[in-house]
Amino acid sequence: MTDLAERPTALYRFFDADDRLLYAGIAVNPPARWQGHKGEKDWWYTATRATLTWYDNRADAEKAEAEAIATERPLHNRKLRHYGRVESNVEVMSAEEVRKVLGQRLSKARDEGMHTAVARHGVVKAVIVPIDWYQRVRQLDGDRADL
């Protein structure tokens, strides 16, 4: 049997009747994955259509998923979200790309409010954010904001 990481993987998107993007996700077998959504996601019953885009492997699909969530802002995805909204100034980069331009990304966070989502093997693992944004979120969570 082929390793899951090497199998073709689909990026799927669910939309409601007003064509708002509800959710984006990935799966090797979308219908099987959707059965899980049907039993556990409140938005499932408001979805009226779905789209599929196939990728050659899971890593490519994961990168496309992270980019879709960051740029298309699905209403019900939790990745890259905080308190019900997705930051509009998020750029997804691979860890290898970030290593080459880390100083630049830190300056963009400080000067422009840019958030850089850092992906490894197509999966977002961390986010570089402006310190004032981080402190504000910590305060909202009831945590100490000082470092």
What's the CA gap between 147 and 135, in Å, rounded? 9
Q: What pLDDT does residue 36 have?
A: 85
- Cross-strand pairs, 25: 12
Instruction: With a cut of 80, say whether residue 19 has pLDDT above it.
Output: yes
Residue 87, SS3?
coil
Q: What pLDDT does residue 1 have?
A: 46
Which CATH number, 1.10.1040.10, 3.40.1440.10, 3.40.50.2000, 3.40.50.300, labels domain 1-75?
A: 3.40.1440.10
What's the CA gap between 11 and 67, in Å, rounded? 11
pLDDT band (50, 70, 90) for residue 119: confident
Q: What pLDDT does residue 104 have?
A: 92
Q: What are the structural domain ranges in the chain? A: 1-75, 87-147
Same fold, 1-75 and 87-147: no
Over the chain, what is the mean pLDDT? 83
pLDDT per residue as tens digits for the range 33-69 = 998 888 788 889 999 999 999 999 988 898 888 888 8
Q: What pLDDT does residue 136 have?
A: 80
Q: What topology does CATH give the domain 87-147?
A: YefM-like fold (3.40.1620)
Token duo for residue 41: 């996601």
CA–centroid distance for 100 within its chain: 22
Strand duo 81-82 + 85-86: pairing: antiparallel
Q: Percentage of the chain surpassing pLDDT 70?
A: 90
pLDDT per residue as tens digits for the range 77-105 = 865 444 334 445 677 888 888 899 999 99
